[in-house]
């Protein structure tokens, strides 16, 4: 019996030692997503590889900033810019088409340490919406601008402009043609294939100074009605950061909005004392329905959680403890 007790004690110590690197606070951490939905596992290997490469490239953009002691705010902005510039994802270049055959972009960014935020909806000429969102945050007394007012705000800045056609890609054009025939944006869930209709990009980060930040950007919903505002630029729904956690959402915008999902995750964690992972589980199972959404999140200790109740979510994370993940489906 005595030997068994000693063995148990030794085992306990061993387990504690093994777990230690994971329970220590990470110096910095970063997670990102490139959209959630029904993503077929049958997509060609070359395309699959392009997605993985895109996610890795974006992770590297953030890693360099955070490793060198840069701010979480810089990291999430540059990661999202990188994903906006990648035509594979529904944000910036490669955004989906509206019902009118144009591109209307939304974005938001939030600094968890100050609760400063910037958000935009209905952009038509801004190459990198997340960068203009940061300008709103830093240079305006307001948080959120829409449509023509947002473009007018942009006129006062040196943000890079493009023609609306810049956002065109052949793939999105074909999706829009299909969507027009089956009116997909009205009942989007039945139509989800390979993230065709939804899709968002986002990033969350903790920096070496302990500050959290979140950013999200999207081309919205394929065939969406003119002027529809989704969850992405809604502080509290698609994008949120405070002293507890930073969260970026992707999925069915209206479901994410009516549940004020991002802030509810942060509040659940803060008010119930649960872990970040438990908070994501709560919102994904108790508030949202299967197929609705996915989240990437990081807390003040550098814990990362990336969860969805959809079949897949393009996602990746990296932290100062050497964890590095790039995934699309639940089990890989």
Interface positions with its own copies (CB under 8 A) = 110, 115-117, 119, 121-122, 140-150, 152-153, 185-188, 224-230, 234-237, 240, 253-254, 257-260, 263-264, 267-268, 271-272
Q: Which of 124, 125, 200, 264 is catalytic?
A: 200
Least distance in angstroms from the C-beta of 42 to its own copies = 29
Q: Does the active-site annotation cover 200? A: yes
Distance of alpha carbon 16 from alpha carbon 10, whole angstroms? 10
Is residue 240 within 8 Å of residue 262, measured between CB atoms? Answer: yes
SS3 of residue 317 by DSSP: strand
Question: Distances in Å between the alpha carbon of 191 and those of 38, 99, 143, 195?
Answer: 9, 16, 34, 9
Distance of alpha carbon 157 from alpha carbon 189, whole angstroms? 38
CB atoms within 10 A of CB 177: 12
By C-beta, is 26 or 269 nearer to its own copies? 269
Least distance in angstroms from the C-beta of 175 to its own copies = 18
By C-beta, is 243 or 321 nearer to its own copies? 243
By C-beta, is 149 or 210 nearer to its own copies? 149
By C-beta, is 37 or 230 nearer to its own copies? 230
Q: Could you tell me which of 25, 114, 128, 28 has the C-alpha nearest to residue 71?
A: 28
Least distance in angstroms from the C-beta of 324 to its own copies = 32
Least distance in angstroms from the C-beta of 115 to its own copies = 4
DSSP string, 53-80: HHHHHHHHHHHHHHHTT--HHHHHHHHH
Q: In the β-sheet with 293-299, what is the strand arrangement from edge to edge?
A: 239-241, 245-251, 293-299, 304-308
By C-beta, is 53 or 286 nearer to its own copies? 286
Least distance in angstroms from the C-beta of 204 to its own copies = 16
**What is the set of active-site residues?**
200
């Amino acid at each position: 019996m005595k030997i068994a007790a000693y063995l148990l004690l030794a085992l306990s110590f061993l387990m504690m030692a093994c777990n230690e690197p994971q329970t220590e606070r990470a110096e910095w951490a970063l997670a990102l997503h490139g959209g959630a939905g029904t993503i077929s596992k049958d997509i060609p290997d070359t395309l699959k590889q392009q997605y993985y490469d895109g996610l890795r490239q974006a992770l590297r953009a953030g890693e360099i900033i955070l490793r060198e002691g840069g701010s979480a705010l810089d990291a999430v902005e540059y990661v999202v810019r990188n994903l906006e510039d990648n035509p594979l994802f529904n944000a910036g270049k490669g955004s989906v088409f509206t019902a009118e055959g144009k591109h209307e972009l939304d974005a938001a960014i939030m600094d968890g340490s100050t609760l400063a935020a910037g958000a935009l909806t209905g952009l038509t000429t801004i190459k990198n919406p997340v960068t203009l969102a940061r300008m709103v945050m830093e240079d305006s007394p307001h948080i959120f601008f829409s449509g023509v007012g947002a473009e007018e705000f942009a006129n006062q800045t040196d943000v890079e402009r493009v023609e609306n056609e810049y956002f065109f890609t052949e793939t999105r054009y074909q999706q829009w043609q299909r969507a027009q025939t089956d009116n997909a944006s009205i009942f989007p869930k039945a139509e989800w294939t390979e993230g065709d209709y939804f899709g968002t990009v986002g990033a969350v980060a903790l920096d070496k100074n302990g500050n959290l930040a979140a950013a999200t950007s999207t081309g919205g919903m394929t065939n969406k009605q003119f002027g529809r505002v989704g969850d992405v630029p809604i502080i509290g729904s698609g994008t949120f950061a405070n002293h507890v956690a930073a969260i970026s959402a992707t999925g069915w915008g209206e479901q994410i909005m009516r549940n004020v999902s991002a802030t509810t995750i942060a509040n659940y964690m803060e008010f119930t004392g649960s872990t970040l992972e438990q908070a994501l589980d709560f919102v994904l199972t108790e508030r949202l329905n299967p197929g609705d959404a996915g989240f990437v999140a990081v807390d003040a200790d550098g814990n990362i959680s990336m969860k969805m109740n959809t079949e897949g979510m393009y996602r990746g994370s990296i932290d100062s403890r050497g964890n590095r993940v790039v995934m699309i489906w639940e089990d890989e």
